[in-house]
Amino acid sequence: MEDGKGSRGHLVLVPYPSQGHINPMLQFSKRLVSKGLKATLATTVFIFNSMKPEPSPLVGLDTISDGHDGGGFSEAESIHTYLARLAAAGSKTLSDLIVKYRSTDHPVDCIVYDSILPWALDVAKEFGLVGAPFFTQACAVDYIYYLVHHGHLKVPVESLPVCVPGLPPLELRDMPSFIYVAGSYPAYFELVLHQFLNTEKADWVLINTFYELEAEVVDTMSKLCPVTTIGPTVPSMYLDKRVENDFEYGLNLFTLDKSTLITNWLRSKPPSSVVYVSFGSISSLDHQQMEELAWGLKQGGFHFLWVVRASEEDKVPKHILKLEADVEADYDEKSKKGLIVNWCPQLEVLSNEAIGCFFTHCGWNSTMEALSVGVPMVGMPQWTDQTMDAKLIQDVWEVGVRVRVDDDGVVRRREIEGCIREVMDSERGKEMRRNAKKWKALGREAMSEGGSSDKNIDAFVSYIKNSMA
């Protein structure tokens, strides 16, 4: 690959500092490099120091500051103060980064920034660079936020159902949680609405979805704000296999068990017999909900692999699972029904033939990963876009079911058990599995040569190369 002075466009990609935002932007970086550009992922100093990433042969790594270099988000007084400092320190240090690269062989040509960091576009434009927000959530979710931001949809919602092209009529519980629970997390609600603060100045608006998955809403939104679909951004090995050595994301904010524990445990289980349970990198269940989940898994009677982050581990009701599961169990104990781990290589797990369904919080990456490997889901959304993703999973793509929450806000064990049984062991479940395989094929096609996302990425790459001329 040519690497001389000015011979490749250089993009700096700036994700929001969390696992679910870093993963897709890192993957997009690799894709751009495979198409002849140079990409540098700029995480915060705190994330960089805590991940201790190994240098990647593909993507350069660098840092900006969120104003909390020692402890990141946990150090901040509130969400509001964190976001304000991230914007101030982030703008300053992103400018410094651009200036630093100016005196190298690779001056920066373009900033691709997480759409929830709109200040990065102001920085890009100050330096006369190409600027492109990268939306890490479903187009349907982004469209709802667009409507609210521009006053086309009033919050609290006055008239139900809400209609979005390509989606069945939406009730309140199908909307993103900031709308569903009016007034919740005001700082985050402002953050998602402000994604559209300055998009008219952006050169491209990139979205991590694929056209076939959300065609009608992509077309509708594009009439108001032209969007470019570039997903799914899962490692190429699970899609078109064209990006060399792209087997995994490679940057984990949590300690990954590198031993063969999980794969050996899965290998000892029959095909489609295991329920994989994970609530992503942020969501946290309370004690009562953990207990209901444990009972639901136990009563379901299927094998289960449950990710419980180290910070949540004290909530695992070991007395319920005593005879059924071990925490970090020895894989030799094949008779055990369950295995609980702190963090796993999720895509590798999902693509293992032993997995029968994914019991998920419906984070967008988790959803895209399950679609990409063709695994049906039980959705138990917690907040933000997850409620709407669950609607899409159940009623649009028909690849899963969504649990019902009772009047006390708890998902009961019988509900959990029933939903798992439905996906694992019913005629409807078989249909979901067939649908999941269909989406898997379409996702792969989108990223393969000449597919919808591939063509879009090629157009973006050409634009960057031409803008350097």
Tell me which residues touch ligand UDP (CB under 6 A): 19-20, 23, 278, 280-283, 307, 343-344, 346-347, 363-366, 369
Between 28 and 343, whose beta carbon lies closer to ligand UDP? 343
Reported residue count of the chain is 469
Between 21 and 337, whose beta carbon lies closer to ligand UDP? 21
Q: What is the DSSP string of 338-353?
A: EEEES---HHHHHTST
| Shortest separation between residue 137's beta carbon and ligand UDP, angstroms | 8
CB-CB contact of 398 with 420 (8 Å): no
| Shortest separation between residue 296's beta carbon and ligand UDP, angstroms | 19
Q: What is the DSSP string of 409-466?
A: S---HHHHHHHHHHHHSSHHHHHHHHHHHHHHHHHHHHHSTTSHHHHHHHHHHHHHHH
3-state secondary structure of 386: helix
Q: What angle do CA 336, 340, 345 make, to 5 degrees?
A: 120
Between 153 and 285, whose beta carbon lies closer to ligand UDP? 285
Between 369 and 445, whose beta carbon lies closer to ligand UDP? 369
> If we measure between CA atoms, which residue out of 372, 348, 251, 346 comes closest to residue 359?
346
| Shortest separation between residue 109's beta carbon and ligand UDP, angstroms | 28
Q: Tokens 């993963």 label which residue? A: 23
- Spatial neighbors of 312 by CB under 8 A, at least 6 apart, are 284, 285, 290
Take residue 355 and report the two structure tokens written for it. 């997995």
Residue 212: half-sphere exposure toward Cβ, Cα within 13 Å = 18
Between 9 and 235, whose beta carbon lies closer to ligand UDP? 235
| Shortest separation between residue 283's beta carbon and ligand UDP, angstroms | 6
List the alpha helices (DSSP H) in 116-214.
119-126, 139-149, 177-180, 186-193
Between 177 and 281, whose beta carbon lies closer to ligand UDP? 281
| Shortest separation between residue 79's beta carbon and ligand UDP, angstroms | 15
Between 384 and 453, whose beta carbon lies closer to ligand UDP? 384
Between 130 and 341, whose beta carbon lies closer to ligand UDP? 341
| Shortest separation between residue 253's beta carbon and ligand UDP, angstroms | 9
Between 371 and 432, whose beta carbon lies closer to ligand UDP? 371
Q: What is the DSSP string of 250-305?
A: ---SS----SSHHHHHHHTS-TT-EEEEE-TTT----HHHHHHHHHHHHHH-SEEE
Amino acid letter, 76? A
Between 37 and 251, whose beta carbon lies closer to ligand UDP? 251
| Shortest separation between residue 450's beta carbon and ligand UDP, angstroms | 27
CB-CB contact of 179 with 157 (8 Å): yes
| Shortest separation between residue 371's beta carbon and ligand UDP, angstroms | 12
CA-CA distances (angstroms) from residue 123 to 166, 205, 207, 237?
36, 16, 21, 35
| Shortest separation between residue 375's beta carbon and ligand UDP, angstroms | 12
d(CA 71, CA 56): 24
| Shortest separation between residue 356's beta carbon and ligand UDP, angstroms | 18
CB-CB contact of 221 with 228 (8 Å): no
> If we measure between CA atoms, which residue out of 190, 197, 199, 220 comes closest to residue 133?
199
